[in-house]
Every structure is written in C-alpha cells, then in structure tokens.
Amino acid sequence: MKARLPFVLAASAALAGTAQAEAWNFGVFLDDQPIGEHRFSVTGPADARKVISEASFRVKLLGLTVYRYRHRAVEQWQGDCLSELEASTDDDGEASRVRAQPQGDAGLAVVTLTGTQALKGCVMSFAYWNPAIQRQARLLNAQTGRSENVQVRAMGGGTVEVRGRPVAATRWRIDGPAQPIDVWYAAEGGEWLALDSTVDGGRRLSYRLK
C-alpha cells in the first residue's frame, strides 16, 4: 500500500537584506503518526538566496515499511525570482531529476528526464517562505518540473501547535491540480510554522516545526 505524498516543499521564513544563515527542521506526520523529517536552510542576502531542502520519509504498516521517500533540492534565487534549481527525488523507487537554468533574459529552461520546457518571466517554486507566493498564479514543482496553475487565498486566523504549545497564526490555502495545501504563518513576524494537506486515501499529511 502506497501513501503517495504531494509535491515537495520549498523552504522556510523570510530573510532580511543582509547576509544570513537560517535553518528549520520540520517533523512530518501522516495521520498524526511521525514518518520522518524535512530540513531547510536558507543562506545569503535577499537578492541572492540559496535554499537547500532535504526530506526523508518512511511509512510503516504493521511494522513493515510500505513507502519510502527521499528528496533533495538546491535553489538559487535573485530577489523573488528563481534563477537555478537542482533537485533529485526517490519516490518509493521512482526516480526523478529536475534542473532549471537561466535562459537568457527570458526566464528558465527546465530539464527533466522526459524533456525540456521554457518558462518565461519571473519563475517561483513552491517557496512558502516568500510572501510573494501569495500573488502567484503559477508555481514550479521542484519534484516533477511542471509549472502548475495555482490559486492562493487567505483563510483567516487561528492557532497551530508549535513545539508543544499553541501559537497564533494566519492560514493561507494553495489550490492546484493536487489536494489543497494549508500553510500556517506566525501572526507576529510571519515565520512559516506548519503545513497541512491530504494525500491518497484521504490521509492527512502535516509538517510541524521541531
């Protein structure tokens, strides 16, 4: 039985204009059961950020591993625009690779195992750390290399548990070709705190800061 997970995540919290190094470690849960972690690091100033994302999940049933997932992506950014991407994924034995490089002044050339596509203009991946994502109608999927139509909308406030305590937060929903993704940000400071979605079989996938 596979528990196919949605597209991989992208990063962390917004950084100021000076050079910084930040890291976030999310525990990952499937129906409230821990299945692994997803770590993110962001370095550099706002006009030249480098984002490294590393995920490792393992789903068990009756003590037996029924699903494995590993992903690593390295992104280079210029302001709010993705300038380069190198990503590799092992989705329960199904391997994929995505490479994106500048294509003159026109955008990015995105190369996958099945071909190459050109994306015009300023391209963003699913970069939850960047408030500019809230204004996007298309986002690049770092696992598949597809440019996906999305709708991002505010869903109001609430609380989310972070490191064992409730934190006031705002929720944004990303609707696209897969299941909706709810992303939680701190009401004060705007830090990315959590994420909730639904995977195959109606199971709940959650990210929570450790």
Residues pairing with 87 in the sheet = 73, 98
Q: Any idea what DSSP says for residue 18?
A: S
Confidence of residue 16 (pLDDT cuts 50, 70, 90): very low
Domain ranges, ordered by start, for the chain: 21-209
What is the pLDDT averaged over residues 66-93? 96
Asked if residue 100 lies in contact with residue 109, where contact means CB atoms within 8 angstroms, the answer is yes
pLDDT digits (tens, 9 = 90+) for 102-114: 987 778 999 999 9
CA atoms within 13 A on the CB side of 197: 22
Q: Domain spanning 21-209 has what CATH number?
A: 2.50.20
pLDDT digits (tens, 9 = 90+) for 70-82: 999 999 999 999 9
In angstroms, the CA 143 to CA 151 distance is 19
Nearest-CA neighbor of 127 among 44, 28, 195?
Answer: 195
Within 8 A by CB and 6+ apart from 82, the residues are 75, 76, 100, 108, 123, 124, 125, 127, 140
What is the pLDDT averaged over residues 2-11? 44
